[in-house]
Amino acid sequence: MEDLPSERIVRIEKVMLKSRRPRFVGVNSKGGPGGNIVTDHVVRIHTDSGAVGVGWSRINLKQAEQFLGKQLNELFALPNGCLEAGESIDLLLWDLVAKLSDQPLYKLLGARGSRVVELYDGSVYIDDLEATDDEAVAIFQEEVKTGQEHGFKNFKIKIGRGAKWMPIMEGLERDVIVIQTIREAAGPDAKILVDANNGTTLNIAQEILKRCESARIYWFEEAFHEERGFTEPFKAFIQASGYDTYVADGESKPPSNFFDMVERGWIDIVQHDFRARGLTWWKATADMIAPWGAQCAPHCWGSIIERYAHAHFAASIPNFCLLEAAPANTQGIVLDGWEFRDGHLIVPDTPGTGFDLAPETIARGTREEGGFCISV
């Protein structure tokens, strides 16, 4: 379906959907606590034919008013996706167009990947600053247990305690203890990832890999800011040491030469934010980096609903790695055909994304703070 049907946006709703994590999430190497509440900005756009597109968007009431009365072809064009005017509602428009074409989103995007999408639990933060080593071991054993009880098998660990929260060497020692604890608790088949949020140096990152060799770290995320003087020797060290660890980066204000470093093979996994960049950007980026042997694993912390559009993207490309998620209890959503099984999301063959809000959630949420409902 290259030609879009004549559709006009006549109604827009927004709901601030709150989910609760099973525990309070602590800090990363530089930032404040993640807490136990996740707030999703869910927007629904209605067209004059009765079609509805649903997804994450940060648009406010004033911005939403600018979309009322717009024709779909002013905002979106196949095969590439959103035009500049539609970028702020990218995820909604892809859902809408997939529904209008009566196909699942992953098929509209290309259907070149697997519908069985592997996840990891990204909620293992720095939760042990007041703990002894023994107490820290118990804390993270329990966190792995919680993740497993919610169906997760793979775990990403926040490290970099020595950047801010502990003396450098004390922080390094604790990082190593935590990585080894989680490997033991998660079992030999789990993928163990680490994320320093740019809170380690080249030397410390290399030391962590050496001291955690038996933990078989799957990827090392944001060891430091992406600079050739650090990234090139880090990748060279990994290769010379015979490690299978991937270098993952791109989430936090990557430099203008970021993709040059990806093309050179110094960065293996691209991680720009999924909500901020949108499906249109990611579709083009996945195609660009595939010939270089690089993989996609977008950052998507801070959302629960995002995983559904994200999994469709994963199923649409041949070079997807892992999907970031975390345990949470979410009320008031409607899933059409989705399964979460054995640490994987199974992408459905239902039209669009296969996600929506329950009618009562919409009715209540549009009246609550941050929500709205407008129409022509």
* Residues 77-99 pLDDT 10s: 999 999 999 999 999 999 999 99
Phi, psi angle pair for 363, to nearest 5°:
-60, -45
pTM assigned to the model: 0.97
List b or e across 2-12, with b for residues whose CB sees 16 or more CB atoms inside 10 angstroms: eebeebebbeb
* CATH number, domain 116-354: 3.20.20.120
Q: What would the mean pLDDT of 268-273 be, rounded to a whole number? A: 98
| pLDDT band at residue 3 under the 50/70/90 scheme | confident
Residue extent(s) of CATH 3.20.20.120 domains in the chain: 116-354
The 3-class secondary structure across 20-33, one letter per residue, is EEEEEECECCCCCC
Q: What would the mean pLDDT of 355-360 be, rounded to a whole number? A: 98
Residue 13: which residues within 8 A CB-CB, separation 6 or more? 43, 44, 46, 362, 366, 371, 372, 373
Question: Can you tell me whether residue 234 is helix, strand or coil?
Answer: helix
Out of 1.10.3720.10, 3.40.630.30, 1.10.3300.10, 3.30.390.10, the CATH code matching 9-102+356-375 is 3.30.390.10
pLDDT of residue 55: 98
| pLDDT band at residue 1 under the 50/70/90 scheme | very low
The dihedral sign for the CA sequence 306, 323, 105, 291 = positive
Residue 169's alpha-carbon distances to 203, 205, 212, in angstroms, are 12, 12, 15
Which two three-digit tokens encode residue 272? 């720009």
CA–CA separation, 119 and 77 (whole Å): 31
Residue extent(s) of CATH 3.30.390.10 domains in the chain: 9-102+356-375
